[in-house]
Amino acid sequence: MATITTTKGSRSAPTGPDTPAWVRWANDHRKWLFAAPAMVFVAALIAIPLAWTGYLSLTDTEGSVRAESTFVGVQNYLDVLSDTERFWPAVGRTATFTVVALLFEVVLGMAIALLLWRPFKGQKWVRVAILMPLVATPVAVGMMWRLIFDPNIGMANQILGWVGIGPQPWLAGQYTALPTTIFIDVWQWTPMVVLILLAGLTSLSEEPQEAARIDGASTWQRFRHVTLPLLMPTVTVAILLRGIDALKTFDVLYATKGRGGGSFHEVETLNVYAYGLSFDYNEYGVSSTVLILFFLIIIGSMWALTARRKEAKR
Amino acid sequence: MKASPAYRVFRVVALTVVVLALIAPLLWMIAASFKTNVDIYDTGKALVFSPTMDNYVKVLQQANYVQFIGNSLWVAFAATVASLVLGVPAAYSMSRFNMKKSALVVLMARVIPGVSLLVPWYYVFSNLKMVGGSGVLILSHMFVSLPLVVYIMMGYFDSMPEELEEAALVDGLTHIGAFRRIMLPLSVPGIATAGILSIIFSWNNFMFALVLSDADTKTLPVAIFDFVGYASIDWGGLMAAATVVTVPIMLIALFVQKYVVSGLTAGATKG
């Protein structure tokens, strides 16, 4: 291809005998010429820092990254993995937060996407409304819910009062804080699941639906045995994308409960815990250990999910 | 087949509930931003109150928000342009040459917890005397926007027929010329999608600026915390600040809805 020397109608030099050597070189090496800058950026800003974090996790560095530190091997890992006061509860909260939020988001998201599937008058406005929580700044969203859930002046308790339920502590309660932050996550991110599932539904072909209808399948049967199996790959993608972000939730937790996830660490997930270790306590060695374990948990759950998906494809 | 009347009534009711649940809290925030703190504390004045601009005067003048809006805009804009410059050619190469492993490396950035990079970054950039400057903020926000650009643009280039490029070569363009004169102009909608998404994500980003900015260079999500004291919260000012951060981005989403949706759902249906 590249050796065609026709000049008719050309606006730039064709690759021929007259082509300057550097142009030919650039064209021959365009694959890496195009990709390299981004790859170098990623390597410099991500791969090297990550390797460094891996190294720090094997030392007792604290106070300052520059401070004298000794290599302690896997001691940090043994300490962290046997820490039932902060680490394991944080693992539990991260898992609870992610699993419960995802469950609600997928079920509600599926219901809303099905309602929006077929065109109807006013659909455009519903779609606009769905987009709003999704693009709103998470920190601002946290502050907004903080006012609504305020035990004394918040609208939430006001509304509960109208239906005869007593005031709740919401974010301020030791046991209600985590469920309340899960609610906020569901409010903000169910729309994301709706949009993904809606894109999936729109790309489905009509024929299986028609066939099932002619065979006399009920609406529920059509959903259960036709739509859902065809939509499963998209559902997995939604769970994967949303799951990664839910595991790493930080902004809303920090905005509503502040450092350490509140005074009882009631919303302290792994990300909040690692942030606190690094920037409130400067325990760089231990925090790096937590981060490496956190990273492995994220990779592990992604791998489990995609493996299950491949299994389902067979 | 037409939907049954009963289903249509159910759909209207259900979707009204959904829309109210999603929008009412945001309207509540905006309403509170026009209330005095006395009115916010008086639950009887939930809907009927005399609006005041005091909170906005406080936010924009005393709290120096004009500067923080400028910071947020500059960081979002610069990080987006830089990510497009690096990301679009890379996405093209990864799409055309099927560089699955390289793409995976870039996309890993979506998976890694940001905190694990912040400690090394903080150390390196404070040695370079860059912490507190906007350069390091732009670099850190590229960590979010570059993978986004690569991901969206790869999908876009995948969907463009290779024949276009072959025709350009027959017409005497070089490979790079074909990219520059044919593929780039044709991928403008994709670039717009990637750019808008990158601006939104950078504008909303909180954690990097929390660690890497100082009192002069902080972005809006960090500046919101100025209204949260240890003992008490200035609710009126806080809601006005939250509104100033959120409403511009919601307006953008309103006007370029199509791009935002296609960016958010990019690659989701490829299976």
10-residue averages of pLDDT along chain A (314 residues): 43 60 86 89 86 91 79 92 94 97 97 92 91 96 96 90 92 94 98 95 89 89 92 92 94 94 93 94 92 94 83 64
Higher pLDDT, B52 or A47: B52
Residue B225 CB neighbours (<10 A):
18
**Residue A15: what pLDDT?**
57
Per-residue confidence (pLDDT) for residue A69, from 0 to 100? 82
Residue in A6, A34, A137 closest to B93 by CB: A34
Instruction: Count CB-CB contacts under 10 A for residue B203.
Output: 25
| Chain B contact set for A65 (CB, 8 A) | 119-120, 122-123
Q: What percent of chain B has pLDDT over 70?
A: 98
Interface of A with B in 107-166 (CB under 8 A): 111-112, 115-116, 118, 120, 125-141, 143-148, 153, 155, 158
Alpha-carbon gap, residue B220 to B222, rounded angstroms? 5
Q: Which of A8, A35, A158 sits opposite B94 (nearest CB)?
A: A35
Rg of chain A (C-alpha set): 26
User: Domains of chain B: which residue ranges?
Assistant: 66-264
The reported pLDDT for the residue numbered A8 is 40
pLDDT at residue number A229: 93
Residue B27: what pLDDT? 95
Out of A6, A195, A233, the one facing B261 most closely (by C-beta) is A195
Q: Which residues of A touch B204 (CB under 8 A)?
A: 135-139
CA distance A175 to chain B (A): 22
CA–CA distance, A87 with B90 (Å, rounded to integer): 39
Pick the CATH number of B66-264 from 3.40.1360.10, 1.10.3720.10, 1.20.140.10, 1.20.1290.10: 1.10.3720.10
Q: What is the pLDDT of residue A63?
A: 81
pLDDT tens track for B171-196: 888 888 889 988 999 999 999 999 99
> Are the beta carbons of B117 and A139 separated by less than 8 Å?
no
Q: Where are the alpha helices (DSSP H) in chain A?
A: 21-28, 30-42, 48-56, 75-81, 87-117, 123-135, 138-148, 155-162, 177-203, 207-214, 219-222, 228-247, 251-257, 270-279, 284-313
Residue B235 — pLDDT band, cuts 50, 70, 90?
very high
- Would you tell me which residues 14-73 of chain A have a C-beta closer than 8 angstroms to some C-beta of chain B? 14-15, 19, 23, 26-27, 30-35, 37-39, 41-43, 45-50, 52-53, 56, 65-66
Instruction: Please write the tens of the pLDDT for every residue from A259-292.
Output: 889 989 999 999 999 999 999 998 999 999 999 9
**CB-CB neighbors (< 8 A) of B8 in chain A:** 120
Say if the Cβ atoms of A287 and B119 lie within 8 Å.
yes
Contact residues, chain B, for A274 at CB < 8 Å: 113, 115-116
Q: What is the Cβ-side half-sphere exposure of residue A202, based on CA atoms within 13 angstroms?
A: 13
Select from B174, B225, B261 the residue whose CB has the most chain A CBs within 10 Å, as the one to mutate to test that interface.
B174
Q: B74 falls in which pLDDT band (50, 70, 90)?
A: very high
pLDDT number for residue A180? 97
Q: For position A16, what pLDDT does the model report?
A: 62
Name every chain B residue with its beta carbon within 8 A of the beta carbon of A279: 118, 211
Q: How confident is the model at residue B146 (pLDDT cuts 50, 70, 90)?
A: very high
Residue B93 to residue A278, Cβ atoms within 8 A: no
pLDDT at B124: 85
Q: CA A34 → CA A23, A236, B91, distances in Å?
A: 14, 32, 8
Give pLDDT, residue A14. Answer: 53
* Local structure of residue B128 (DSSP, 8 states): T
Chain A residues with CB-CB distance to B99 below 8 A: 31, 35
Count of other CB atoms within 10 angstroms of residue B129: 8
CA dist A156 and B17 (Å) reads 16
pLDDT of A239 = 94
Task: Give the closest residue to A131 by CA, choosing from B270, B149, B8, B200.
Answer: B200
- Structural domains in chain A, CATH included, are 19-51 (no CATH), 77-313 (1.10.3720.10)
CB atoms near residue B60 (< 10 Å) = 17
Which one of A46, A155, A213 has the shortest CB-CB distance to B112?
Answer: A46
- Tell me the shortest Cα–Cα distance from A187 to chain B, in angstroms: 7
